[in-house]
C-alpha cells in the first residue's frame, strides 16, 4: 500500500512538472489562433528552431566540431527568446498585409505549415546539431524536493513560468482593452476594422508574443531532452492536441489538458498499467485526449463552434 | 459647402480589372440624411466600404472634413469621425452587448468610453437591460440598434448605415429610422444604403441612385414638371 502511495505521489509531482513544459507551446498556439483563426504551425517551427538555436548558442562540448558562441545558458535562453519574438513579429507583419490577410484560412494554414518545415530544415542543416547531446539548463543544476520527490530546477522553473504565463495572459485577455479587441478580431475581423481596432498592430503584437513563448518552449525542451528534430516534431503534435482541448481558444483549458497529459504520461511511463510499451501508452494517452476534446466540445460548444467570418 | 462632412471626387473603385464604381461625385453635409438606392450588386456596399476604408480606391479622392482621406486606413477614418453599421449588422455574436459597444469605442481614449456608452444607451434604451447578454442572442431589431450604437460610440460626424431595414418588422424599421433622424438632428451626416422598395423618402433629405457603378441624384417626378 505504502509503495503504491509513494508511486502515485511521484507520478503526481513529476507529472505536474512535466505539464509545465507541455503547456508552453499551446499558449503560443492559442494566442495566434485567437487573432488569426488559423493553426499557426509556424510557432511550432519557431519552437523547434529555438531548440536548435539554444543548443548551438550554449552547448560547449569540444568534441563536436564547428564554431559555437558558448554563451552562458541563461543569456542563451534570452537571446533565443528574442530571436523567436522577432520571427513571430515577422510572421505577424506578413500575415496582416491586406492581400495576405484576405487569403482563405486553409491557405494561410498551409503557408504556416510550410514555414514551419522550412525553418526546421534550415536550422537542422546549418547548425549541424547532434541530437543526443543535451545543452546545459538555463536555471542551473539545482535540485528541489517536493513532497519527497526530487525535481530539477529546470522542471520547477518551467512549471512556474507556464502557470504564471497562463494566469497573466488569461487575466490580460479577459480584462484589458487589447484583450477585448483581440476577442473582437477573433469574432469578426472586418467588423473590428470598421470599429477602429488597429487590426494589423494587434495581430503583429500577438504573433510576437506567441513567437517569444514558442521560443521559450523550444529552448526548455532542448535543455531537457536535447535538440532531436524528430522529438521536437512529436512535441509539437502533442502541443497541438493539448491546445485543441480548449478549442484552440482557452488558455486555462490548455493548461488543464497539459496537466492531464503530464500526469497520465508519467503514470504510463513508470508502469502503472504494466511494463512500458510505447504503442500502448500512446494509444491510452490519445484516447484520453480524444475523450477530453469531445467532453469540452459538448460542455462548452462556444469554444468550438464560434461563428467564423474572416481571419488575418 | 462648408458643412460638407464627406465628399467623393471622380471616385473609381474595383477589384483587379473589374470596375465596380466609376467616376462617383457625391457629398453628404452635416445634419443631412442621404439615402443611396440601387439594385443588388449596383455598388452600394462597395461605396460605403470604400468610405470606411476597407476597399482600395483605383482613382479619385475621398475628402473627409476637408482633408484628403483617400489613403487613410480604416482605423484612422474612424478616429476622424466615420462610423459604419454594416449590412447584416455584423455584431460580435460571441461577446456581450456592452463589450460590443466598447469595441466600437476603440478609437477613443479609454477615459471617454463611458460617455459614449451613456450617449448610445440614451438613444437606444432597449439595450440598457441587455448589456450583459451575448449579442448573438438578441433579436434582429436589437442587433440593428446595437450595430448602429456601436458605430455611434466614438461620436462620429458621418454615419454610414447599410440596409438598416433588412429583415425587420415595419414597426422596428420605424423605430430604427426615428433613431437615425434623431442622430441627424444632432448634426451628424447620415448616409443610408437601401434597396429600392425600402427607401424612406419622408426621412431622407436627398436620394441618390446608384446604377452600374454610377451615382446620380434622384429627381421625383413631381419636381420635373
Domain tally for chain B?
A: 1
Query: What tens digit of pLDDT does each residue of A241-276 get?
Result: 999 988 888 888 899 999 999 999 999 888 777 777
Domain tally for chain A?
A: 1
Residue B224 maps to a domain: no
Please determine, for residue B118, whether its predicted confidence score (pLDDT) is greater than 50: yes
Domain, as residue range, for B159 = 4-217
Residue A3 maps to a domain: no
CB spacing of B99 vs A180 below 8 angstroms: yes
Q: What is the pLDDT of residue A186?
A: 84
Please determine, for residue A70, whether its predicted confidence score (pLDDT) is greater than 80: yes
Please determine, for residue A192, whether its predicted confidence score (pLDDT) is greater than 60: yes
Give the ipTM: 0.93
Which candidate in B75, B85, B105, B158 is best for mutational testing of the A interface (most A CBs within 10 A)?
B75
Residue B36 maps to a domain: yes
Residue A42 maps to a domain: yes
Query: What tens digit of pLDDT does each residue of A117-165 get?
Result: 898 889 888 888 888 889 999 999 899 888 888 999 999 999 999 999 9
Domain, as residue range, for A85 = 25-244
CB spacing of A195 vs B93 below 8 angstroms: no
CB spacing of B103 vs A180 below 8 angstroms: yes
The CATH number given to whatever domain includes residue B26 is 3.40.50.300
Please determine, for residue A309, whether its predicted confidence score (pLDDT) is greater than 60: no
Average pLDDT over residues B12-34: 92
Please determine, for residue A277, whether its predicted confidence score (pLDDT) is greater than 90: no
Residue A97, chain B, CB below 8 Å: the answer is no
A309 chain-B contacts, CB cut-off 8 A? 90
Residue B31 maps to a domain: yes
Residue A67, chain B, CB below 8 Å: the answer is no
Residue A190 maps to a domain: yes
Residue A12 maps to a domain: no
The secondary element (H helix, E strand) that includes residue B69 is none
B150 chain-A contacts, CB cut-off 8 A? 195
Categorize the per-residue pLDDT at B222 as very low, low, confident or very high, splitting at 50, 70 and 90.
low
Residue A257 maps to a domain: no
Residue B222 maps to a domain: no
The DSSP bridge partners found for residue B63 are B7, B68
- Can you tell me which residue has the cell 458643412? B3
Q: What is the pLDDT of residue A187?
A: 85
Average pLDDT over residues A190-208: 93
B78 chain-A contacts, CB cut-off 8 A? 194-196
Q: What is the pLDDT of residue A61?
A: 65
Amino acid at each position: 500500500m505504502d509503495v503504491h502511495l509513494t508511486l502515485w505521489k511521484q507520478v503526481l509531482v513529476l507529472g505536474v512538472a512535466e505539464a509545465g513544459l507541455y503547456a508552453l507551446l499551446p499558449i503560443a498556439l492559442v494566442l495566434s489562433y485567437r487573432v488569426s483563426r488559423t493553426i499557426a504551425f509556424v510557432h511550432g517551427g519557431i519552437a523547434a528552431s529555438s531548440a536548435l538555436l539554444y543548443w548551438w548558442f550554449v552547448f560547449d562540448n569540444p568534441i563536436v566540431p564547428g564554431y559555437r558562441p558558448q554563451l552562458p545558458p541563461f543569456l542563451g535562453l534570452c537571446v533565443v527568446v528574442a530571436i523567436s519574438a522577432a520571427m513571430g513579429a515577422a510572421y505577424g507583419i506578413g500575415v496582416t498585409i491586406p492581400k495576405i490577410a484576405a487569403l482563405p484560412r486553409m491557405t494561410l494554414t498551409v503557408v504556416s505549415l510550410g514555414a514551419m518545415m522550412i525553418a526546421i530544415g534550415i536550422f537542422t542543416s546549418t547548425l549541424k546539431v547532434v541530437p543526443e547531446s543535451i545543452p546545459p539548463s538555463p536555471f542551473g543544476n539545482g535540485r528541489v524536493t517536493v513532497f519527497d520527490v526530487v525535481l530539477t530546477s529546470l522542471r520547477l522553473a518551467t512549471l512556474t513560468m507556464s502557470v504564471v504565463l497562463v494566469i497573466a495572459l488569461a487575466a490580460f485577455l479577459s480584462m484589458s482593452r487589447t484583450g477585448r479587441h483581440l476577442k473582437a478580431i477573433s469574432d469578426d475581423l472586418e467588423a473590428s476594422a470598421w470599429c477602429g481596432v488597429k487590426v494589423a498592430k494587434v495581430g503583429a503584437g500577438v504573433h510576437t508574443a506567441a513567437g517569444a513563448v514558442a521560443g521559450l518552449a523550444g529552448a526548455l525542451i532542448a535543455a531537457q531532452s536535447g535538440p532531436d528534430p524528430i522529438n521536437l516534431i512529436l512535441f509539437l503534435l502533442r502541443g497541438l492536441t493539448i491546445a485543441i482541448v480548449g478549442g484552440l481558444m482557452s488558455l486555462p483549458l490548455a493548461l488543464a489538458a497539459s496537466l492531464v497529459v503530464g500526469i497520465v504520461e508519467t503514470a504510463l511511463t513508470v508502469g502503472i498499467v504494466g511494463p512500458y510499451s510505447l504503442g500502448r501508452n500512446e494509444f491510452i494517452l490519445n484516447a484520453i485526449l480524444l475523450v477530453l476534446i469531445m467532453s469540452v466540445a459538448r460542455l462548452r460548444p462556444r469554444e468550438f463552434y464560434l461563428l467564423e467570418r474572416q481571419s488575418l | 459647402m462648408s458643412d460638407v462632412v464627406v465628399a467623393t471626387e471622380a471616385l473609381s473603385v474595383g477589384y483587379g480589372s473589374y470596375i465596380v464604381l466609376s467616376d462617383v461625385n457625391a457629398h453628404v453635409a452635416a445634419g443631412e440624411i442621404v439615402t443611396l438606392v440601387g439594385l443588388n450588386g449596383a455598388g452600394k456596399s462597395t461605396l460605403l466600404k470604400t468610405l470606411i476604408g476597407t476597399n482600395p480606391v483605383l482613382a479619385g479622392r475621398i475628402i473627409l472634413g476637408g482633408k484628403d482621406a483617400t489613403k487613410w486606413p480604416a482605423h484612422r477614418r474612424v478616429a476622424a469621425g466615420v462610423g459604419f453599421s454594416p449590412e447584416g449588422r455584423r455584431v460580435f455574436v460571441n461577446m456581450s452587448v456592452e463589450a460590443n459597444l466598447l469595441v466600437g469605442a476603440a478609437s477613443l481614449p479609454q477615459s471617454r468610453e463611458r460617455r459614449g456608452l451613456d450617449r448610445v444607451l440614451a438613444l437606444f434604451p432597449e439595450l440598457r437591460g441587455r448589456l450583459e447578454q451575448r449579442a448573438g442572442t438578441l433579436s434582429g431589431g436589437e442587433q440593428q440598434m446595437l450595430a448602429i450604437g456601436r458605430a455611434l460610440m466614438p461620436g462620429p460626424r458621418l454615419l454610414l448605415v447599410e440596409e438598416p431595414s433588412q429583415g425587420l418588422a415595419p414597426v422596428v424599421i420605424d423605430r430604427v429610422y426615428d433613431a437615425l433622424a434623431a442622430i441627424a438632428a444632432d448634426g451628424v451626416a447620415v448616409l443610408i444604403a437601401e434597396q429600392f422598395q425600402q427607401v424612406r423618402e419622408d426621412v431622407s433629405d436627398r436620394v441618390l441612385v446608384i446604377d452600374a457603378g454610377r451615382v446620380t441624384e434622384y429627381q421625383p417626378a413631381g419636381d420635373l414638371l
